[in-house]
Amino acid sequence: MRSTTAVLALGLVPPPAAVAQPRLNPVIDLVAAGKPVFGLYAPANRRARPGQPAPPADSMKSMSQLAAEALAYKPLDYVFEGTMEYNFDQTYPPFTEFAKAMHEGGALTKGKPARFTHPLFVKTPEIAPDPAVAATRIGKQLNEGVTGIVFVDVLNAAELKQGIAALRFRSKGGTRADDVGNAPARWGMSEKEYKERADLWPLNPKGELLTFTIVESKEGLKNVREIAATPGVGVLFPGAGTLRGVFTTTDAGGQRKFDEAAWEAAIQSVLAACKEFKVPCGYPAGAADIEKRMKEGFSVFVIGWGEQGFKAVELGRAAAGRQ
């Protein structure tokens, strides 16, 4: 048997098939390696609160400006766009402008191989009310070149399976239509190559798409183990903000009471299901709690944009040794 030195001296190299294809979506590399992942909500214009005047027109940034702001912050691992959870028809058009601006601003490296510097993950509205409409919406989001879909308020495994199917082309056993829109150009490849690579990891080890699944209701918590056991689940999150409302009641005197112990138990039940079924567990952390949640076992984080969010990313990366 030739030694490694002899092989190198002869100029022999492994055949191309033996070399792993570089991944376009770096979030999957981090998740697969068990490394903590830090994402930030996309920067957005300030919205007027009910009963308050609208922000001054000259304070509103264009989608190109917001995209440039997102791209200028390098320490994050992905950009989280959450506006389409409600009123999809109203929020989808500005999202397409943002996605286009991210691409034009350089979210995909120009070298060979190409790689996303700021992968885009987007919330999609609830699946359960109308799975067919949900599948159409997911297809439209994917056609803008996103690398991850975030399912909100998942109630059971059957609903999650419908969402997963909507991400996969029919040739891969899913329900996604063949129309791919702007996605191949945003991924820097041909339509043929896109259709091969735009599949779901970990169901397809070579896939470049990843799902986040959020459990944020008592029904979802009841079914969290079957949700965590669903093939294709990428990262599982407790919807901590929504769950705070779930575990808040109003007494006869109109006083609101937050059951913090029950809320924390709900969060821990999601984490326990993640650990049982070996699924990465996510959390909407901030600077005040990111290190605590990392010690507990959460490893994928979505964090608010702004100075406190940047601080949370810095704390998390330091705790993970990712400086």
Pick from 26, 43, 51: nearest CA to 114: 26
The answer on pLDDT for 13 being more than 70 is: no
CA angle 120, 123, 129 (to 5 degrees): 150
Strands 120-124 and 210-215: unpaired
Which uninterrupted H or E stretch holds 300?
strand 300-303
pLDDT tens digits, residue range 128-168? 999 999 999 999 999 999 999 999 999 999 999 999 999 99
Q: Give 272's contacts (C-beta < 8 A, 6+ positions apart).
A: none
The structure tokens listed for 121 are 């993950």
- Mean pLDDT over 204-213 rounds to 97
Task: Give the pLDDT score at 12.
Answer: 42
The length of the chain in residues reads: 323
Task: Give the pLDDT score at 156.
Answer: 98
Q: How far apart are CA 142 and CA 151, in angstroms?
A: 13
The fraction of the chain above a pLDDT of 70, given in percent, is: 92
Per-residue 3-state assignment (H helix, E strand, C coil) for 203-240? CCCCCCEEEEEEECCHHHHHCHHHHHCCCCCCEEEECH
- Which position has the token pair 């901030």? 286
Q: How far apart are CA 292 and CA 319, in angstroms?
A: 10
The answer on pLDDT for 22 being more than 80 is: no
The answer on pLDDT for 215 being more than 90 is: yes
Q: pLDDT averaged over the chain? A: 92
Pick from 159, 163, 119: nearest CA to 137: 163
Q: Which residue has the higher pLDDT, 12 or 266?
A: 266
The fraction of the chain above a pLDDT of 90, given in percent, is: 85
Q: How far apart are CA 169 and CA 194, in angstroms?
A: 11
- Mean pLDDT over 282-307 rounds to 98
pLDDT tens digits, residue range 35-91? 999 999 999 998 766 677 777 776 789 999 999 999 999 999 999 999 999 999 999
Q: Do the beta carbons of residue 279 and residue 226 sit within 8 Å? A: no
Task: Give the pLDDT score at 111.
Answer: 77
Task: Give the pLDDT score at 56.
Answer: 75
Q: Tell me how far CA of residue 314 lies from CA of 28, 289, 291, 305, in angstroms.
A: 21, 13, 11, 13
The structure tokens listed for 54 are 């609208």
Task: Give the pLDDT score at 127.
Answer: 97
Q: How far apart are CA 171 and CA 194, in angstroms?
A: 13
- Mean pLDDT over 193-221 rounds to 97
Task: Give the pLDDT score at 10.
Answer: 37
User: CA torsion, points 88, 164, 103, 109, in degrees to nearest 10?
Assistant: 160
Q: Give 13's contacts (C-beta < 8 A, 6+ positions apart).
A: none
Q: How far apart are CA 68 and CA 87, in angstroms?
A: 25
Q: What are phi and psi of 318, to 5 degrees?
A: -65, -45
251-260: Cβ within 8 A, 24+ apart: none
The structure tokens listed for 242 are 């929504």
Read off the pLDDT band of 20 (50, 70, 90). Answer: low
The answer on pLDDT for 234 being more than 70 is: yes
- Which position has the token pair 């570089």? 22
